[in-house]
Structure 1
Amino acid sequence: MDLLNKNQGLFLALYRLVIGLLFACHGAATLFDVLGGPQGQVPGIGEWPQWWAAVIQLLGGVLVLLGLAARAAAVICSGTMAYAYFVVHQPQALFPIENGGEKAALFCWGFLLVAVLGPGRWALSTLLAPSRPLAHERR
């Protein structure tokens, strides 16, 4: 258990990297017909909501993966997946296992976790931030 506590930041970074990469890949597949394709027809530019959702998936996923504006990106990604779940999946059946909304529900809650916990110390925004002296060095 001590190993887990000492490496919480590392595990948060790995989680952020994986969820961001998976989400970005989903957006790239939809927009560019790569990585197994869009699971249907490629949406036209500006087509609501498919094209906009795919752009959010690609850009939001990359931002979360890198840890740049990760909290804001994660909130938008989470909201997009909540919209997808409640508008597309939930009207078909109550439970995600019945309505095919497991991915939307998992991404929604996963990104909400990133938004609440933040990107962690191994985020690009943290690494690029000007270093501040520690409290005992300011005196």
Structure 2
Amino acid sequence: MTGRLDSAQPYALGLFRIVVGLLFACHGAASLFGALGGADGAGGTIDAGTWPGWYAAVIQLVGGSLVLLGLGTRAAALVSSGSMAYAYFKVHQPEALWPMENGGEASAMFCWALLLLVFTGSGAFGLDRVIASVRREREPKAADAERTPVAA
């Protein structure tokens, strides 16, 4: 049974990455564009350039989109995880110790989920894998072309 579960691991990880990236990007879209109820639940947005909310929303949208696509997953997840750690410790934790008390559950969960992706990579279905496989296919052809003498 373990062997079958192990063979499914890249696919489960890929689906996990897609869901986490989509949800993270949705938070950014809500804050920046008022989508999905907006930053305040009433369609409001965060004023451009305000610290730290607007910058966090940009990281959420861009980082979440990259994680969703599986493009630069590890780097995007690292920056995104760090922004959620900052959000938890600077915004939520001063209000109360526990996430249930300070409203920081989403920040804590995103922080740890994204940190996991830093160490695991994108899993299946990621553009990183597609790009790597295309490069691997082209390398032997380029090497063969260099070795083939050109007739004069």
- TM-score of the superposition, structure 1-length normalised? 0.90
Contact 1:56-1:77 within 8 A present in 2 as well: yes
Distance in 1, Cα, partners of 2:16 & 2:68: 9
How many angstroms does 1:102 deviate by?
0.4
Contact 2:74-2:119 within 8 A present in 1 as well: yes
Answering whether residue 93 of structure 2 is matched by residue 90 of structure 1, we say yes
Which structure 2 segments of 5+ residues have no match?
Answer: 140-152
Q: Highest Rg: 1 or 2?
A: 2
| Higher mean displacement: 33-42 or 94-103 | 33-42
| Higher mean displacement: 36-45 or 112-121 | 36-45
What residue is the counterpart of 2:83 in the other structure? 80
How many angstroms does 1:44 deviate by?
1.6
Which structure 1 segments of 5+ residues have no match?
Answer: 134-139
Answering whether residue 121 of structure 2 is matched by residue 118 of structure 1, we say yes
Distance in 1, Cα, partners of 2:19 & 2:5: 18
- TM-score of the superposition, structure 2-length normalised? 0.83
Contact 2:78-2:115 within 8 A present in 1 as well: yes
**Aligned ranges for residues 93-104 of structure 1 at < 5 Å?**
93-104=96-107
Q: After the TM superposition, which segments of 4 or more aligned residues of structure 1 sit over 6 Å from their partners?
A: none
User: How many residues matched?
Assistant: 133
Answering whether residue 25 of structure 2 is matched by residue 20 of structure 1, we say no
* One-letter identity of the residue aligned with 1:128: I
Distance in 1, Cα, partners of 2:71 & 2:112: 19
Please report the RMSD computed on the Cα atoms of aligned residues, expressed in angstroms.
1.5
What residue is the counterpart of 1:8 in the other structure? 9
